[in-house]
A and B are shown apart, each in its own frame.
Chain A
Amino acid sequence: MRAFADLIKTLDSTNKTTLKVEALTEYFKNAEDKDKVWTIAILSHRRPPRPVNTTLMREWASELANIPLWLFEESYHIVGDLAETIALVIPKSDSSTEKSLNQFLQEILDLKKKPEDVKKEYLFDNWLNLNYYERFVFTKLITGSFRIGVSQKLMTRALAKATEIDEDILAYKLMGNWEPSKITYNKLILEENEEDFLSKPYPFYLAYAIEDEPDALGDVSEWSAEHKWDGIRSQVIIRNDQLFVWSRGEELVTDKYPEFEALVGVVPNGTVIDGEILPFPDGEIGTFNDLQTRIGRKNVSKKLLEKTPVILKAYDILEWEGEDIRNTAFGERREILEKLYHEVRSDELPLHLSESIRFKTWEEAAVERENSREVKSEGLMLKRLDSPYLVGRKKGDWWKWKVDPLTIDAVLTYAMRGHGRRSNLFTDYTFGLWDEEKKELVTFAKAYSGLTDKEFRKLDAWIKRNTLDRFGPVRSVTPHYVFEIAFEGIAESKRHKSGVATRFPRILRWRLDKKIEEANTLEDLKALIP
């Protein structure tokens, strides 16, 4: 544990990626195998199930710090991280632990089944006898999410350096379902094992947003376009008469979308399709709101399946006849995909093709892009015909070219402190639009991004001086500032007070030139619903 806590401290003491990778590489070279597996697991967001709920942890921490619970809660809102708050309020200790990281994790795994008084004693004992960083890390392991400014990609890069195994191969090995308490370092990283690969997806290739006008991409004839669908990016795998569905978050979601079982026996074994899961109520593409009703459900009722079925809009094929064809040119992969599609297609099969569109000029492409909202897409995807399927977000071969967002001018009404690097700054905002009589502001969206750090600081200082009321971490502020809010899509919604749901709302501009009377009304917003 000491080595891991030191690693976290080192990672915390630099903002430079190279130094972070260096520190991680050193760690992977020297740590014991079991600790390495857990470190990989933690940094790829595979955490042990939470053994103690956070309500109890808050109570216990305030007891140990000898402060009232309300004061702990206030401190938490300001610090912005539970484990960090706990590590800070408990009396300081300079002692350190000899126990290894994997011993701690085994204890944490076992703790779940223990009675409450044992849990409390275990936490008290460790909180009091670990130094600041060990205490912070220990509490993080218990509360879960370990976001410390190291992405999985960075961790994989360091692991590649330490093991001299290719980074892409490692990325592939680390995908999918594996349990850190059961797997060995050898099996996870070093060994080659065919069987394990049955359910494994390929790392997704992700596109960047286009920077200039598309003609900067060169000759239009080298590019293929298709609409950019707004669903869940997924890989559908058919191997050994079995179906596996993976979402981009590397989550195995096969059970959530039973529709795709219909592909087994129709699509041949040894096939991996890259595409978008889309809602398809009443025989046409629905809104992202429709899909929301499916996302969080593990057990899908028959009724829901009938009301909001899903389809796969296929746009690429990564494995064919059991062969990894990611290095084949995109144009050729599309030919294979289209041939497959035309052979198996039927009205009942939830497999649709994302039509590829070829243009003679970029102007022609621009016209098609303008049509995006009508066909329920977010814009166009541009893919170079001779490109391989890369790993992760890489510039050059794939670009997303979204339609310009819809916008509306709204008034800032509430603010909440942010988390992580925005802790103790009011950076999470709620915006309102005028009702019909322009008397009251009705909340319509929350937004967290779109301002520069400097603007955030300026607004934060203003919020602190213009607070009307406090509700725990939330403050209502004097209606004063108008912001132009951009969003991708809009739909009616019964779940929202305003009756409208917007997709990806964010701040486009701080309209210092506008008074609150000039902000838009709810009616203006509703007029944007297609």
Chain B
Amino acid sequence: METPLLAFNDKGIYCAAADVYLDPWKPVDKAIISHGHADHSRYGHKKYITHHSNVPIISHRLGEISVTGKKWNESFTINGVKFSLHPAGHIIGSSQIRVEYKGEVWVFTGDYKTEDDGVAVPYEPVKCHTFITECTFGLPAFKWTPQEQVFTEINNWWAQNQADGRTSVLFGYSLGKAQRLLKHLDPSIGKIYTHGAIENMTEVLRSQMDFHETTRVTRETTKADMKGNIVLAPGSAHGSTWIRKMVPYVTASASGWMTFRGARRRRAIDKGFVLSDHCDWQGLLSSIKETGCEKVICTHGYTDIFSKYLREQGYDARTEETQYESETGQLESDKEKDSE
């Protein structure tokens, strides 16, 4: 049997011809990294290759590492295998990884979304034969609303809480979601406070992009300072002693999981805004179509259901086990992404 261009082994997605791994979950010699979230960029590889704008992110997260930055669409060859990175639109610096060998093209999406969020470079479809895709939200129940509408709701919610004399606490990942929220909050309503994890990450990203002014919540910050203002915090801050400082407060979470009423209620959050950095159902289907691919490999999310549907639609689709956060990824407050 011919060796496939990319194979899934116990360490990650392996390209045998180039002897290189894509987003490996165990330490390897050479790793091409799609983006800076912890389940895709792990500790311990000897060499990291990633997009320029992801370099400061993983350097901040992983400390001293040997990393090479690449530009969008810049080809580089390893043992005769041609690689290039293309915008995935998930968070700043998130790439799809294109792999070409002897005329055969594979694309690995990492995580991606089709909507332009105003922060990440927008997703670009890349033609390929085999498309390795995430499907975190691969169910027809997931349908995103254009973000303008969601941000209008978020800003209205903040203004209403302010009118009621309450502090707004908005939860989102420290890397990606927090900056997207920050970019679209309306600073004319009030001050924007940040949890330390978010402030640190935003500080790293300010060199690449302008963000509204933020104020870190410190020991000296008082209840009165924050009253009526908004606080951006990682989900892990919910239910902590840290948040008591904001009393009286109202909580909200911005996530694709907020589609489910149960997800919001279970986490005892007041308000849920459906805002995701992943594709919704239609986004996944249209992306797959645009690549012109024949084969699809689903890596994480509702993989079994989604690949079964793709097969019914005539694709040669299958599922591969990976250690990217899939079904378990929905417990956002527990994610290691936020525990940095």
Chain A residues near B (Cβ < 8 Å)? 12-16, 65, 67-68, 70-72, 74-75, 78-81, 84-85, 88-89, 92, 149, 419-425, 453, 457, 460-461, 464-465, 470
In the complex, what residues of B have CB within 8 A of residue A464's CB? 326-328
Contact partner, B262, options A65, A80, A457, A461, Cβ 8 Å: A80
Complex A-B: 5 CB contacts under 8 Å = A81-B261, A89-B141, A149-B265, A420-B262, A421-B265
Chain B 265-302 interface residues, beta-carbon cutoff 8 Å to A: 265-266, 268-271, 302
Q: A13-B270, A78-B302, A461-B331 are in contact. Are A67 and B140 (CB under 8 A)?
A: yes
Most chain A beta carbons < 10 A, residue from B145, B309, B327, B334: B327
The answer to whether B139 and A13 have CB atoms under 8 Å apart is: no
Q: Please measure, in the bound complex, the distance between the C-alpha atom of A92 and the C-alpha atom of B326, giving whole angstroms.
A: 26
Q: Please measure, in the bound complex, the distance between the C-alpha atom of A71 and the C-alpha atom of B138, giving whole angstroms.
A: 11
Closest 10 CB pairs of A and B: A423-B262, A461-B328, A421-B265, A88-B141, A421-B266, A464-B327, A89-B140, A13-B271, A14-B270, A74-B305
The answer to whether B328 and A75 have CB atoms under 8 Å apart is: no
The reply on B330 being an interface residue by CB < 8 A is yes
Contact partner, A15, options B145, B270, B327, Cβ 8 Å: B270
Q: Shortest Cβ distance from B191 into chain A, in angstroms?
A: 24
Q: Please measure, in the bound complex, the distance between the C-alpha atom of A142 and the C-alpha atom of B270, giving whole angstroms.
A: 27
Q: Please measure, in the bound complex, the distance between the C-alpha atom of A78 and the C-alpha atom of B266, giving whole angstroms.
A: 14
Chain B residues near A (Cβ < 8 Å)? 139-143, 145, 250-251, 259-266, 268-271, 302, 304-305, 308-309, 312, 326-328, 330-331, 334
Closest residue of chain A to B149 (Cβ to Cβ) is A94
Q: A14-B271, A423-B260 are in contact. Are A68 and B302 (CB under 8 A)?
A: no
Q: A71-B140, A85-B141, A424-B260 are in contact. Are A457 and B302 (CB under 8 A)?
A: no
Closest residue of chain B to A426 (Cβ to Cβ) is B327
Beyond A89-B140, A464-B326, list 8 extra A-B contacts (CB 8 Å).
Answer: A14-B270, A72-B140, A79-B141, A88-B259, A421-B262, A422-B266, A423-B260, A425-B266
Q: A15-B270, A71-B140 are in contact. Are A422 and B334 (CB under 8 A)?
A: no
The answer to whether A12 and B261 have CB atoms under 8 Å apart is: yes
The answer to whether B260 and A84 have CB atoms under 8 Å apart is: yes
Q: Please measure, in the bound complex, the distance between the C-alpha atom of A198 and the C-alpha atom of B328, giving whole angstroms.
A: 55
Q: Please measure, in the bound complex, the distance between the C-alpha atom of A465 and the C-alpha atom of B260, giving whole angstroms.
A: 22
In the complex, what residues of B have CB within 8 A of residue A81's CB? 261-262
Q: Shortest Cβ distance from B204 into chain A, in angstroms?
A: 29
Closest residue of chain B to A470 (Cβ to Cβ) is B304
Closest residue of chain A to B330 (Cβ to Cβ) is A424
Q: Please measure, in the bound complex, the distance between the C-alpha atom of A460 and the C-alpha atom of B334, giving whole angstroms.
A: 13
Q: Please measure, in the bound complex, the distance between the C-alpha atom of A75 and the C-alpha atom of B263, giving whole angstroms.
A: 15
Q: Please measure, in the bound complex, the distance between the C-alpha atom of A481 and the C-alpha atom of B258, giving whole angstroms.
A: 31
The answer to whether B143 and A92 have CB atoms under 8 Å apart is: yes
Interface contacts (Cβ under 8 Å), in number, total 82
Closest residue of chain B to A419 (Cβ to Cβ) is B262
In the complex, what residues of B have CB within 8 A of residue A71's CB? 140, 305, 309
Q: Shortest Cβ distance from A419 into chain B, in angstroms?
A: 8
Q: Please measure, in the bound complex, the distance between the C-alpha atom of A461 and the C-alpha atom of B330, giving whole angstroms.
A: 10
Q: Please measure, in the bound complex, the distance between the C-alpha atom of A471 and the C-alpha atom of B262, giving whole angstroms.
A: 23
The answer to whether A16 and B143 have CB atoms under 8 Å apart is: no
In the complex, what residues of A have CB within 8 A of residue B304's CB? 470
The answer to whether A457 and B334 have CB atoms under 8 Å apart is: yes
Q: Please measure, in the bound complex, the distance between the C-alpha atom of A149 and the C-alpha atom of B270, giving whole angstroms.
A: 12
In the complex, what residues of A have CB within 8 A of residue B312's CB? 68
Contact partner, B270, options A16, A72, A470, Cβ 8 Å: A16
In the complex, what residues of A have CB within 8 A of residue B139's CB? 74-75, 78
Q: Shortest Cβ distance from A51 into chain B, in angstroms?
A: 24
Closest residue of chain A to B141 (Cβ to Cβ) is A88
In the complex, what residues of A have CB within 8 A of residue B145's CB? 92
Q: Please measure, in the bound complex, the distance between the C-alpha atom of A23 and the C-alpha atom of B281, giving whole angstroms.
A: 34
Q: Shortest Cβ distance from A389 into chain B, in angstroms?
A: 34
Q: Please measure, in the bound complex, the distance between the C-alpha atom of A420 and the C-alpha atom of B330, giving whole angstroms.
A: 16
Q: Please measure, in the bound complex, the distance between the C-alpha atom of A71 and the C-alpha atom of B260, giving whole angstroms.
A: 17
Q: Please measure, in the bound complex, the distance between the C-alpha atom of A421 and the C-alpha atom of B266, giving whole angstroms.
A: 5
Q: Please measure, in the bound complex, the distance between the C-alpha atom of A14 and the C-alpha atom of B264, giving whole angstroms.
A: 10
The answer to whether B141 and A75 have CB atoms under 8 Å apart is: yes
The answer to whether B271 and A88 have CB atoms under 8 Å apart is: no
Q: Shortest Cβ distance from A152 into chain B, in angstroms?
A: 18
In the complex, what residues of B have CB within 8 A of residue A79's CB? 141, 260, 262
In the complex, what residues of A have CB within 8 A of residue B269's CB? 15
Q: Shortest Cβ distance from A370 into chain B, in angstroms?
A: 39
In the complex, what residues of B have CB within 8 A of residue A74's CB? 139, 302, 305
Q: Please measure, in the bound complex, the distance between the C-alpha atom of A89 and the C-alpha atom of B140, giving whole angstroms.
A: 6
Q: Please measure, in the bound complex, the distance between the C-alpha atom of A129 and the C-alpha atom of B263, giving whole angstroms.
A: 26
Q: Please measure, in the bound complex, the distance between the C-alpha atom of A424 and the C-alpha atom of B264, giving whole angstroms.
A: 12
The answer to whether B305 and A424 have CB atoms under 8 Å apart is: no
In the complex, what residues of A have CB within 8 A of residue B328's CB? 460-461, 464-465
Contact partner, A65, options B140, B251, B260, B326, Cβ 8 Å: B140
Q: Shortest Cβ distance from A458 into chain B, in angstroms?
A: 9
The answer to whether A88 and B270 have CB atoms under 8 Å apart is: no
Q: A15-B268, A71-B309 are in contact. Are A422 and B141 (CB under 8 A)?
A: no
In the complex, what residues of A have CB within 8 A of residue B330's CB? 424
Most chain A beta carbons < 10 A, residue from B140, B145, B308: B140
Q: Shortest Cβ distance from A9 into chain B, in angstroms?
A: 10
In the complex, what residues of B have CB within 8 A of residue A68's CB? 309, 312
Q: Please measure, in the bound complex, the distance between the C-alpha atom of A465 and the C-alpha atom of B328, giving whole angstroms.
A: 9
Q: Shortest Cβ distance from A83 into chain B, in angstroms?
A: 10
Q: A16-B270, A457-B334, A461-B328 are in contact. Are A424 and B262 (CB under 8 A)?
A: yes
In the complex, what residues of A have CB within 8 A of residue B260's CB? 79-80, 84, 423-424
Closest residue of chain B to A456 (Cβ to Cβ) is B266
Q: Please measure, in the bound complex, the distance between the C-alpha atom of A14 and the C-alpha atom of B269, giving whole angstroms.
A: 7
